[in-house]
Amino acid sequence: MSTPNAAIKRQHDFTDPLSKPIMESTNPDLYDTRLPRMYPVHRHIYIYSVARRDFPKKHVYFKGKLTGCHKGERYVLCTTIPDPPQQLSVDPERGGHRVEVEPRDEAGWRVAIDILNPNNPSTNPYFRPSAEQAAYYSIGQSVDLMRYGLFPSLHNPPLEEEILRAEQERDKSYQNLIDEAFQEQASNPQGFRVWLKNHPEITEAMQATGTVADWHKAPESKMSCPNCGDVIKAGIAFHKSSAGVLCIIDPVRAAKAGVGVEDAPKKRNGIAAAAQEYTGR
């Protein structure tokens, strides 16, 4: 005849765990599977970005989007990593779940580096492995986000030297990509359009560095002219309408550019008056 505790004494594994109520009732003082964490957080590791685009990331300790600078910021805070890092895992021995913690002092720092570059086995974010080390430790290609301007830090806000180093890495990646683009265009003109399609980040690099090429056209923001309704480039002060007449949108800026009210149709009395007020004509 089986005893009430027979199920508890039997060995359990991942495919046959004990239920959470049994585990909690059997080990009230030793095991607690409830969140938040069982262990105190001693510090946080901050991950920042000076990149101008987002990067999706799926990692054991982080799943989501590492946000870039979209509003003219010099840097943005992407996420924080609690140190020591902890994760919820299945408890095969007692059933339910348990919180596991990485005991090493540098564990949180290593997790942050691994999120940004899983090919880096060291505690130096900018570690440059030898060919032999790269062959041994690398787990994939194009996984290094540090070269785009993401970086870990112990400080909030980050130190100036940390930001400068990240900006240098980002600008270097821009230039390397631009050099590759020109080389590809020269060596493989037939397949260059395919290369551009496979490297959409070249637009960001060209705009950031101000590089000009006949194969690159900077994207322009369009709007409808409030006067004539034509589709025009956003932000301009005047333009020639589809009817062939000069259309002044901002008389003050137009006057600064040397465009006088006498150049505009006389029926635009409101615009002409504003321009005359500015120029004194």
For the chain, the C-alpha Rg in angstroms (whole number) is 30
Are residue 20 and residue 77 in the same domain, yes or no?
yes
- Per-residue pLDDT, 85: 83
Residues of the chain with pLDDT under 70: 1-18, 20, 23-24, 26-39, 103, 218-220, 260-281
Are residue 198 and residue 258 in the same domain, yes or no?
no
pLDDT tens digits, 246-276: 888 888 888 888 876 555 554 444 444 444 5
Give the range of the structural domain holding residue 166, as residue numbers without chain letter.
160-209
Are residue 179 and residue 247 in the same domain, yes or no?
no
Are residue 81 and residue 186 in the same domain, yes or no?
no
Are residue 48 and residue 165 in the same domain, yes or no?
no
Are residue 68 and residue 192 in the same domain, yes or no?
no
- Per-residue pLDDT, 41: 77
Q: Is residue 98 part of a domain?
A: yes
**DSSP letter for each residue of 68-125:** ---SS-S-EEEEEEEES-EEEEE-TTTSSEEEEE--STTHHHHHHHHHH-TT--SS-T
Are residue 188 and residue 267 in the same domain, yes or no?
no
- Per-residue pLDDT, 36: 43
- Tell me how crowded residue 122 is: count the other CB atoms within 10 A of its CB: 13
Q: Is residue 71 part of a domain?
A: yes
| DSSP assigned state of 214 | T
Q: Is residue 135 part of a domain?
A: yes
- Per-residue pLDDT, 223: 83
Out of 153, 171, 186, a domain closes at 153
Are residue 58 and residue 143 in the same domain, yes or no?
yes
**Is the C-alpha dihedral spanning 129, 131, 137, 142 positive or negative?**
positive
Are residue 227 and residue 187 in the same domain, yes or no?
no
- Per-residue pLDDT, 232: 82
State how far the Cα of 152 lies from the Cα of 165, in Å rounded to an integer: 11
Residue labelled with tokens 């930001």 = 163
State how far the Cα of 167 lies from the Cα of 52, in Å rounded to an integer: 11
Out of 108, 135, 153, a domain closes at 153
Out of 117, 135, 153, a domain closes at 153
Are residue 38 and residue 122 in the same domain, yes or no?
yes
- Per-residue pLDDT, 91: 74
Are residue 231 and residue 167 in the same domain, yes or no?
no
Q: Is residue 216 part of a domain?
A: no
pTM for the model stands at: 0.63
pLDDT tens digits, 13-24: 555 566 767 766
- How many domains is the chain partitioned into structurally? 3
Are residue 147 and residue 164 in the same domain, yes or no?
no
